[in-house]
């Protein structure tokens, strides 16, 4: 280029870094047009070696090198690398917006609709919805499988939690706006590392005889240079032995087989055929699902064609027999309850007692069927716009009940949190206080109106979830409606204590022998021991008085 000869002496060389572009031999014209600045042509500028460039590239925001393009009319400059990049004028297949997004090739202020960060250049806009996005936000997807972290999927985050350390685990750069994160391993990568990941494996026979594998986030001393300043080493780790019995794919096995339309055989009730029904007798409050132990008030559900009392909700009957659980990333197997000996369990995730179907690992980690059925991304009708993901980050307040929980389902777009138990609350129930109508689950209302619970007659927080009768316009606390014994049934015989779940249908409310309050919950726990008989209103009261006296939970069985 003639312009270079005016400033520099040019001569052939090798092994040196170009101060102009860092690339090498690519030819650049003296004057060009660029889609980031279509209104004017850009001219090349070459600075003397002893002159420092104080400006930044308007595209990548990095300090300009000695040679760059600039507009002689506007305050616009772009480095040689960004000049060579392909410029997208439209994003027509965005996963975050239903309409095409068009580039605005101007330095204009906007707030990105996804990450809510204010910026001053080159937005992609939807002309129909009047929304603006960063290009990398518009092109992002909610979840990726990443070559440098193959054990878990990475989920898109638009806020930087404190637990991440605020840096990309690969390049060490500060995390901005949108990045991807594994909450199980606390592994984060920025957009640049997502687009251009380091190679997962290397094979350099002169340096090491075996292939070496990237193992991020590990302290080590390099065997080549002796330094310990990089947390992302490569190891030679293959021993030539194939691993058997390790599932390479997340294939879910069905727990039932279809006999014909509307008829199935289920692994938990193998000797008889189950028939699909759309409606149930709403007056029969004693029917419960064998899997989740929740009452069956309405369809669809499966009923045994030969047994009178074997019922499964349709969604419970369709639970997979084997799957990879979303909490421990281990293979779990569904075990049904047995009529002769049914275990009373304690779920490892939600720490709730339960009966009915359970998922178990080979190491005897037990999950109730609700926690075991959770898969990511998790969708719930209370938050239809965004998916939810398991979050291990610590105590968060549940939007549904207001309780704090350690294991939560979190929306990474807007900070919506649900604890593990609330998404599985029944949508439609019956209660003795309104025998003629169903009560429907409401996901909170933003209103200044005052609500009272029909059962306890105390104020009800309308921003939290509650049950409501649309016919009578009356409302109920969830706990007053269901209690916390809804996941238990029948009798548990665990010497020296015998437990029995009884319905609270007396004309006068019974008094709990622990908290001494008159119980308004639908079920109570009758506990018989050599010391006498106690009637308890909740599992909280049961834990307080009896938990330390009982046999380990996995040894308890139900006596039918």
Is pLDDT of 343 > 80? no
**pLDDT above 90: percentage of residues in the chain:** 6
Say yes or no to pLDDT of 18 above 50: yes
484 or 243: whose pLDDT is higher? 484
Q: What is the dihedral of CA 259, 261, 267, 271, to 10 degrees?
A: -50
SS3 content of the chain, % helix, strand, coil (to 5): 10, 30, 60
Rounded distance, CA 446 to CA 463, Å? 6
d(CA 365, CA 327): 11
Cα angle for residues 463, 464, 466 (degrees, 5° grid) = 115
At 24, is the pLDDT very low, low, confident or very high (cuts 50, 70, 90)? very low
The average pLDDT across 243-254 equals 55
pLDDT tier for residue 466 given thresholds of 50, 70 and 90 = very high
On the 0-12 / 13-18 / 19+ scale of CB atoms within 10 A, 88 is: middle
Residue with tokens 């009529």: 339
Residue 443 has pLDDT above 70, yes or no: yes
Which one has a higher pLDDT value, 271 or 213? 271
pLDDT digits (tens, 9 = 90+) for 323-341: 888 877 788 999 887 543 4
Structure-block tokens of residue 66: 């000695």
Q: Which residue has the tokens 């022998």?
A: 513
When pLDDT is averaged across residues 230-258 and rounded to a whole number, the result is: 62
Cβ atoms of 286 and 310 within 8 Å: the answer is no
Give the containing element (helix H, strand E) for 80. helix 80-84
Q: What is the mean pLDDT of residues 210-227?
A: 71
- Greatest mean pLDDT range, 8-22, 119-133, 203-217, 528-542: 119-133
pLDDT of 165 over the 90 cut: no
Residue 144: enclosing H or E segment and its boundaries?
Answer: strand 143-146
Query: Coil, strand, or helix at residue 529?
Result: strand
Residues 231, 255 contacting (CB under 8 angstroms): no
Give ∠ CA 494-498-501 in degrees, rounded to 5: 120
pLDDT confidence tier of residue 4, bands split at 50, 70 and 90: low
**Side-chain half-sphere CA neighbours of 19 within 13 A:** 14
The tokens describing 555, both together, are 């040894």
Dig out the tokens for 421 from the structure. Answer: 């138990």
Mean pLDDT of 368-376: 87
Buried b (16+ CB within 10 A) or exposed e, 7-28: eeeeeeeeeeeeebbeeeeeeb
> In this model, does residue 19 exceed pLDDT 80?
no
Is the pLDDT at 153 greater than 50? The verdict is yes
Higher pLDDT, 208 or 83: 83
Q: Encode pLDDT of 194-213 as tens digits.
A: 888 887 777 776 667 777 77
Give the pLDDT score at 495.
Answer: 58
Dihedral (CA of 232, 234, 235, 241) sign:
positive
Is 489 within 8 Å of 293 (Cβ atoms)?
yes
Pairing type for strands 263-266 and 256-260 reads: antiparallel
pLDDT computed for residue 10 by the predictor: 52
């Amino acid at each position: 280029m003639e312009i270079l000869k005016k400033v520099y002496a040019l001569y052939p060389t090798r092994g040196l870094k170009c101060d102009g572009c860092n690339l090498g031999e690519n030819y650049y014209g003296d004057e060009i047009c660029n889609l980031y600045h279509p209104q004017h042509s850009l001219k090349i500028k070459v600075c003397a070696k002893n002159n420092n460039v104080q400006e930044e590239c308007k595209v990548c925001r990095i300090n300009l090198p000695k040679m760059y393009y600039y507009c002689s009319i506007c305050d616009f400059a772009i480095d040689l690398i960004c000049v060579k990049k392909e410029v997208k004028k439209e994003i027509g297949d965005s996963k975050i917006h239903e309409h095409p997004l068009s580039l605005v090739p101007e330095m204009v202020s906007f707030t990105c609709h996804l990450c809510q960060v204010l910026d001053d250049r080159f937005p992609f806009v939807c002309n129909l919805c009047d929304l603006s996005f960063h290009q990398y936000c518009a092109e992002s997807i909610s979840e990726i499988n990443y070559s440098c972290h193959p054990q878990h999927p990475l989920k898109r985050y638009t806020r930087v939690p404190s637990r991440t350390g605020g840096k990309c685990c690969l390049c060490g750069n500060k995390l901005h706006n949108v990045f991807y994160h594994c909450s199980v391993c606390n592994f984060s990568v920025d957009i640049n590392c997502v687009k251009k990941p380091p190679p997962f494996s290397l094979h350099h026979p002169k340096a090491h005889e075996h292939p070496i594998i990237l193992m991020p986030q590990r302290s080590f001393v390099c065997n080549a240079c002796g330094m310990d300043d990089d947390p992302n080493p490569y190891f030679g780790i293959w021993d030539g032995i194939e691993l058997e019995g390790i599932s390479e794919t997340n294939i879910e096995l069905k727990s039932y087989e279809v006999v014909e339309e509307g008829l199935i055989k289920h692994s938990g009730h193998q000797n008889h055929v189950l028939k699909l029904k759309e409606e149930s007798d709403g007056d029969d409050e004693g029917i419960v699902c064998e899997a989740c132990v929740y009452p069956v008030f309405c369809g669809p559900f499966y009923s045994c064609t030969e047994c009178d009392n074997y019922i499964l909700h349709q969604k419970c009957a369709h639970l997979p027999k084997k799957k990879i659980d979303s909490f421990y990333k281990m293979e779990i197997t569904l075990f049904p309850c047995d009529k002769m000996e049914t275990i009373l369990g304690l779920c490892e995730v939600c720490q709730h007692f339960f009966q009915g179907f359970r998922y178990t690992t080979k190491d005897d980690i037990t999950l109730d069927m609700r926690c075991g059925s959770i898969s990511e991304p998790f969708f719930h009708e209370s938050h239809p716009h965004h998916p939810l993901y398991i979050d291990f980050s610590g105590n968060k307040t549940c939007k549904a009940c207001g309780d704090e929980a350690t294991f939560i389902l979190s929306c990474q777009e807007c900070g919506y949190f649900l604890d593990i138990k609330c998404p599985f609350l029944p949508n439609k129930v019956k209660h003795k206080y309104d025998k003629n109508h169903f009560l429907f689950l409401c996901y909170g209302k933003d209103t200044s109106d005052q609500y009272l619970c029909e059962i306890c007659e105390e104020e009800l927080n309308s921003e939290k979830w509650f049950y409501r009768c649309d016919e009578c316009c009356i409302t109920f606390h969830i706990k007053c409606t269901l209690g916390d014994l809804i996941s238990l049934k029948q009798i548990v015989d665990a010497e020296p204590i015998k437990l029995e779940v009884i319905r609270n249908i007396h004309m006068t409310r019974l008094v709990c022998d622990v908290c001494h309050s008159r119980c308004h919950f639908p079920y109570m726990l009758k506990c018989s021991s050599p010391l006498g008989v106690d009637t308890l209103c909740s599992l909280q009261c049961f834990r307080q008085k009896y938990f330390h006296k009982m046999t380990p939970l996995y040894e308890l069985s139900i006596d039918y």
